[in-house]
Amino acid sequence: MDAILFYILAFFAVLGGLLMVGLKNPLSGAFALILSLCSLAGLFAMLHAEFVFILQILVYAGAIMVLIIFTIMLLNLKKEEIEEAPVGWMRLLLTATVCAAAAFGAIQIFGDVQPVTSQVPPEFGNMETVGRSMLSSFVYPFEVISLILLVAIVGVVLLAKKVI
Amino acid sequence: MPGWLDYVIIGAKAAFIWAFALSLLPVLIWFERKGAAFIQDRAGPNRAAIYGVRLAGIVHNISDVVKLLMKEMMIPPHVNRIYFMIAPVLGFTFILSAFAVIPWADRFLVGGRDISMQVADLNAGILFILAITSLNVYGIVLAGWSSNNKFALMGGLRSTAQMISYEVPLGMALVGIFMVFGSAQLNEIVRGQGDLLFGFLPRWGVFVQPLGAILFIVAAFAESNRNPFDLPEGESEIVAGYHVEYSGMRFALFYMGEYAAIVLSSAMITTLFFGGWQIPYFPTEKIVAHSATWLKVMLAGGAIGSFVFAAVMLAWSKRIRGRFGDRREGEGMFLFTLNIVAGAAFTFFLVKVLGLAALPEWGARTVALVAQISTFAVKTLFWCWVFIWVRWSLPRFRYDQLMRLGWKSMIPLSFLNIAITAVVLLLLDRR
């Protein structure tokens, strides 16, 4: 049961990623990315990391992707405006070789790693655990990130506002 | 390892909450039409009839559904076909899946089993609803974009901007609830609302978080795209917004999605701020201890209600006799008979249980369950009515006013709410 679910979700995660790169229509690409993100969220849910699962959907699939789609829709590219880059067979061959080599290497390295499910503690990815670790062991990175975000917000306001 | 019975229980729970949500949709459409008519001082739909029975316009819903099912589902030639067909399904699916975490009764103890009356008891339950409703915007955006129509695109863009803006105060209003009840699990939040405040006031979210409750309700209105926040479909400006190009059952799916969103918002408001399934002054254990009395009172109430309604119907059918000259006059007698039968059934069961001093354990638990489900349903239905009430009483915002309210008033107020809650909790030293 778990294995079947895992393979379905993993299949869609990979499929979404491939489609995002492959599809010509930018909006289709964005939706493929959403598919990938949601499947990834499902994988988190399978690890009983409910909070991470919800955040994945809420923040990535919900908020960030909405902004990306908003931009795509506002630009509203026509088909003829998307430049068609010619893809030569040499380039294809090179890409295929590199991908195959990477896949082979990955299998060599991670081939005998055991499944992680049994090693995850039951409270992994809970709201309490995430919150506690954010305010205790990871308090400095947390504060630095919030400072960076604040700077980004102020910067956006400055850039968007022409005259102050 | 879960046995087959666990799967049956989970399936039954999912079926229950979906049946609850879906069966409220026709009721809400009826509410909306009759409520609008009542507020605008007119009769409302009263023509559709089956053999003269029109049940104050409920029958109109059936004719509506038949009409929508029979209509051709047009696909205009200029649309993006795949997205055009997916969009209505997406919106409705997401809304329905968000019902998974709504609790509708206290845990049900039977045969050594502890069944929580909630499909998925997630650790961060309320955030799940936020996540799912944030996905809901895709249905609208896709519909607007794929229609390839300026009005539809405008509607889609408006709705995106509105939903992003109002998700922030919606989430921020929840922080106060987390702080007071110390949990994000919906069932825990409802259980926390069972105590009394100062010995007489139920500790409902609305009493401990008044500002948060107002912010949440306003943001919930905006999230479900209802008036006064129904800019995405403002018919006076952009025809009908994102669903201009839709017809037949695809259009109906948007419509149903809107009503399902109302039910979801009402259930959330009830659960978080109005005690959920809690009956004020009567926590579960108290109901279980006095279950025989509760059963008798409930049956007696049902009997009295049925008989009173039957009497009203009898008087009404006498009053309209000879006025219309068709089968409409028989309606009063029809409802009268129905209610007499119901009242007789209630009385019969009341006489049966009158001698009982105490119920068996499972019976007592069932009585508590039924009482709590009814309480939850009544509260939810009340909030559904408020949604309709507001729609027909308030005018629509202008778009810049909408944005100003969201970003410049509600978000600062929600921060203020968090600060006040933190200070008060620190002073009370409750945590």
pLDDT tens digits, one per residue of B246-274: 877 888 888 888 888 888 889 888 888 88
The closest CB to that of A127, out of B123, B156, B163, belongs to B123
From chain B, pick out residues whose CB is under 8 angstroms from the CB of A69: 138, 141, 160
Collapsing DSSP states into helix, strand and coil, what is residue A45? helix
pLDDT value at A96 more than 60: yes
How far away is chain A from the Cα of B2, in angstroms, using its nearest Cα?
12
pLDDT band of residue B234 (cuts 50, 70, 90) is: low
Does the distance separating the beta carbons of A34 and B123 come in below 8 Å?
no
- The predicted pLDDT at position B328 comes to 66
Separation CA B309–CA B315 (nearest Å):
10
DSSP string, B212-257: HHHHHHHHHHHHTT-TTS-GGG-HHHHTTGGGTT--HHHHHHHHHH
More confident site: A114 or B54: B54
What number of other Cβ atoms are within 10 A of residue B188's Cβ? 16
Task: Tokens for B148, please give them.
Answer: 């390839």
State whether A73 and B184 contact (CB < 8 Å).
no
Beta bridge partners of B282: B279
Which tokens hold the place of B118? 């909630």
B138, A63: Cβ pair inside 8 Å?
Answer: no
Look at residue B355 and tell me whether its pLDDT is greater than 90: no
Residue A117 burial (CB count, 10 A): 11
Judged by a CB distance cut-off of 8 A, whether residue A27 touches chain B is: yes
Query: What are the chain A neighbours of B83 within 8 Å (beta carbons)?
Result: 27
| Residue B56: other Cβ atoms inside 10 A | 14
Q: Any chain A CB within 8 A of the CB of B132?
A: yes
Average pLDDT in the B347-355 region? 79
Supply the pLDDT for residue A118: 56
Taking residues B46-60, report their average pLDDT.
74
Reading the block at residue B73, the tokens are 């589902």
Q: Do A66 and B160 touch (CB under 8 A)?
A: yes
> Quick one: which of B180, B186, B172 has its CA closest to B218?
B172
pLDDT band at B326 (very low <50, low <70, confident <90, very high): low
Per-residue model confidence (pLDDT) at position B2: 66
Is pLDDT above 90 for A148?
Answer: yes
Q: Band of the pLDDT at B60, cuts 50, 70, 90? A: confident
Give percent of chain A with pLDDT exceeding 90. Answer: 5
Chain B hits for A67, Cβ within 8 Å = 164
Give the residue on A whose Cα is nearest the Cα of B164.
A63
**What does the pLDDT average to over A9-30?**
85
CB contact under 8 A, A58 and B184: no
Residue B315 has pLDDT above 60, yes or no: yes
User: In sequence order, what E strands does B117-190 have?
Assistant: none
Q: Which residue out of A37, A54, A71 would a mutagenesis test of the B interface target, given it has the greatest number of B Cβ atoms within 10 Å?
A: A54
Distance of CA A37 to the CA centre of its chain: 5
pLDDT band at A152; cut points 50, 70, 90? very high
A127, A129, A153, best to mutate vs chain B, most B CBs in 10 Å = A127
Under the banding of pLDDT at 50, 70 and 90, the label for residue A78 is low
Closest CA relative to residue A5, chosen from A111, A117, A114, A112: A117
Nearest to B134 among A27, A50, A58 (CB): A58
* Residue B380 main-chain phi, psi, to 5 deg: -60, -45
How far is the C-alpha of A146 from the C-alpha of A139, rounded, in Å? 11
Q: What value does the mean pLDDT take over residues A127-140?
A: 83
* In chain A, residues 92-151 whose CB comes closer than 8 Å to chain B: 126-127
> What integer pLDDT is reported at residue A79 of this predicted model?
58
The whole-angstrom separation of Cα A73 and Cα B199 is 56
The answer on pLDDT for A133 being more than 60 is yes
Element (H, E) at B77: none
Instruction: Indicate whether B342 pLDDT > 70.
Output: yes
**Whole-structure pTM value:** 0.83
- Average pLDDT (B44-58) is 73
Cis? peptide before B77, omega within 30° of 0? no
In this predicted structure, the answer to whether residue B216 has a pLDDT above a threshold of 80 is yes
Average pLDDT over chain B, rounded to an integer: 81
Q: How big is chain A, counted in residues?
A: 164
Please tell me the distance from the alpha carbon of residue A44 to that of residue A57, in angstroms, as a whole number.
11
Mean pLDDT computed over A8-25:
85
DSSP string, B300-328: HHHHHHHHHHHHHHHHHHHHTTTTS-SGG
CA distance A30 to A66: 9
